[in-house]
Amino acid sequence: MILAIDYDGTIADTNAEKVKWIRAHLDRDIPPWHCNRTECVPQIGESAYDNMGDYVYERISTMQALEVSGGLNALRTLALSNELHLVTARPLSRLELAKEWLDRQGALRLFKGLHSAHETAKADICSDIGAHVLIDDDARHLAKVDLPDLSRILLQSDRGDVPVLAEGMLFFSRWSEVVDHIEDYSP
């Protein structure tokens, strides 16, 4: 199968970096799974989110981000029998930093392609590459996808409650659950 996988908050725990920035600059505590654009902007505002992004998505913060718990091992397992593609909303200049981070983790070789959805929708990239599964931590990239053969997985690491999901979406809070699902999944 062809798997399209988001980077920020899905593979690299940039959400933890967002939590630190929000605490330091806005004196607020927001759980990591609420740090994607869709859930965070209503809480801190678009301007603050953009300022945070200017820090979190640049070199220093990108390189110091840890992996989302279990993410790298899951990628290694999934790459054994699937074709992996990174599909991120990062613009090309910031995609290079994600590429460097993956290389430092020994995971870059696991991906057949790296794609920026900054100028297009992730659904369009999934269609172009023939993806069977899209995994993302932000429901906006999954909710209005009109690709009937695309399984859409919302992965929000360690989230205790189940969010409201659009029809056809699946929710998992651990990479191990995603791996189990994909191993059992047949498009």
The confidence score (pLDDT) of residue 78 equals 98
The H or E element spanning position 77 is: helix 71-79
Q: What is the pLDDT of residues 101-151, one digit of tens each?
A: 999 999 999 999 999 999 999 999 999 999 999 999 999 999 988 898 999
What are the structural domains, with CATH classification, of the chain? 2-12+67-184 (3.40.50.1000), 14-64 (no CATH)
Whole-angstrom CA distances from 117 to 11, 17, 123 are 16, 22, 9
What does the pLDDT read at residue 138? 97
Tokens 């605490």 map to which residue?
A: 23
**E-assigned strands of the chain?**
2-5, 83-88, 111-116, 133-136, 151-155, 169-172
Asked if 8 and 68 count as a contact pair (C-beta separation under 8 A), the reply is no
Q: Three-state SS for 14? A: helix
| pLDDT 10s digits, 39-51 | 999 999 999 999 9
pLDDT of residue 144: 80
Count how many Cα atoms sit within 13 Å of the Cα of residue 8 in the half-sphere of its side chain: 25
pTM: 0.95
**Confidence band (pLDDT; 50, 70, 90) for 185?**
confident
Residue range 11-20, pLDDT digits in tens = 999 999 999 9
Q: Which two tokens stand for residue 95?
A: 């995609």
If one counts every other C-beta atom within 10 angstroms of the C-beta of residue 155, the result is: 25
Identify the pLDDT of residue 15. 96
